[in-house]
Amino acid sequence: MTRPVLSAQLPYTLRETNFPALGRKYRGKVRDTYAAGDRLVLITTDRLSAFDRVLTTVPFKGELLNRLANFWFEKTRHLVPNHVLDAPDPNVIVGRRCEAFPVEIVVRGYITGSLWRDYQKGTHDVYGVPIPSGMKKDQRFDRPIITPSTKAEAGQHDEPISAQQILARGLVSRTDWERACEAALTLFAEGQRWAAERGLILVDTKYEFGKQGDELYVIDEIHTPDCSRYWIAEGYEERFQAGEDQRMMDKENIRQWLITERGWQGHGDPPEIPDDVRVDLAEKYARAYELITGESLQLVAGDPLARILQNLKAKGYL
């Protein structure tokens, strides 16, 4: 995937959709979700969020995320059922309408990112998970840990929460929580195994779950560079021992740019994101897609909204 194609897409990035015939619309940070009956139509836009704020758009981001989520949903459906019913367009998933749990399950294999920042400040105990003292940035845990968070509305901040608080507040029943945690760890193990075969490390990731009847489903997205951290495996140990940053293939690139280049972590007015930074991130996402799937991308610059409309009509959704 070459930069000229990514740059050529800048004028055509998909910021918003409006298809009232699909059902009642909910606008999330990245997805426009339409609900009708027991069906959801999820359209992944090119919106970029960081620190729970929508900042800009990134060329082809929605298509790359949706295609990669579909890849992972298909690869893991034998382990945990998922909500996917159809994929009528590269940006679109039609899914079961589930009763979504109001929490996110974050599985971490390494101490890095926000958890590392909490660890440095001594506020990491909010998750109710014991973490050994004396750990170093980017160090691997003996076994993955779960650090839940609330699932905030768009424009609001997700908040860390412990399993004990989740159960005490009745956000999820004990049975469902235990089932979801077991499913999350199973998915994470498979994700790490596959990533290792592709020369990557799946560092951590976020899962969302819901129910339809008594059946548990993984919903939203899975193992994409938006909801997960990926590092290049080669050189990990050398960089860790030297205290150097790992080579990242995910959204952490933009978080670190915001922190180091603009001194911004979600408070106050967000800074403007230059076009070259947007294209840099698109390049990372495209490379991550190719590494994970083993497929060569053939992206074509142009208006994705017209294509989405055409495909939804062709499949009878509009």
Does position 87 have pLDDT exceeding 90, yes or no?
yes
Q: Are 202 and 232 in contact (CB under 8 A)?
A: no
Check residue 159 and give its pLDDT: 87
Query: Would the pLDDT of 59 be above 90?
Result: yes
Mean pLDDT in residue range 134-138? 97
The DSSP bridge partners found for residue 99 are: 211
pTM: 0.94
Sorted by where each starts, the structural domains of the chain and their CATH numbers stand as 3-98+276-314 (3.30.200.20), 100-242 (3.30.470.20)
Give residue 181's Cα distance to chain centre. 17
Judge contact between 246 and 91, C-beta under 8 A: no
Q: Which of 51, 58, 65 is nearest to 7 (CA)?
A: 58
pLDDT confidence bin for 1, thresholds 50/70/90: low
> Is the separation of the CB atoms in 177 and 163 below 8 Å?
yes
59 touches 178 (CB < 8 A): no
- Whole-number pLDDT of residue 156: 59
Place of tokens 């939804």: 312
**The 3-state secondary structure of 178-244, one letter per residue:** HHHHHHHHHHHHHHHHHHHHCCEEEEEEEEEEEEECCEEEEECCCCCCCCEEEEECCCHHHHHHHCC
